[in-house]
Amino acid sequence: MEIIKLRDEYIKLGQALKAAGLCESGVDAKYAIEEGSVKVNGVVELKRGKKLYKGDEVIYDGKTIRIEL
């Protein structure tokens, strides 16, 4: 599991995928999200700008990202 520490109140989904190294670029993150390959808290998320807060979990490509302070 990858942990992402928040610097602000939230991080956007596309940024989180890049920060965790699961997508190389914003374009890669965009396509992964649009394809329905990304889940946030167990639900498929189709918005790249979805705001993630402390405690949220993202699953993509069999890997989990947890958002923490």
CA 59, CA 38: separation in Å to the nearest integer? 6
Average pLDDT (43-64) is 96
Average pLDDT (34-42) is 97
CA 25, CA 2: separation in Å to the nearest integer? 18
Residue 18 pLDDT: 95
| CATH superfamily, region 2-68 | RNA-binding S4 domain (3.10.290.10)
Average pLDDT, rounded, for the chain: 95
Q: Which of 53, 10, 17 has the alpha carbon at shortest distance from 33?
A: 17
Which pTM does this prediction carry? 0.92
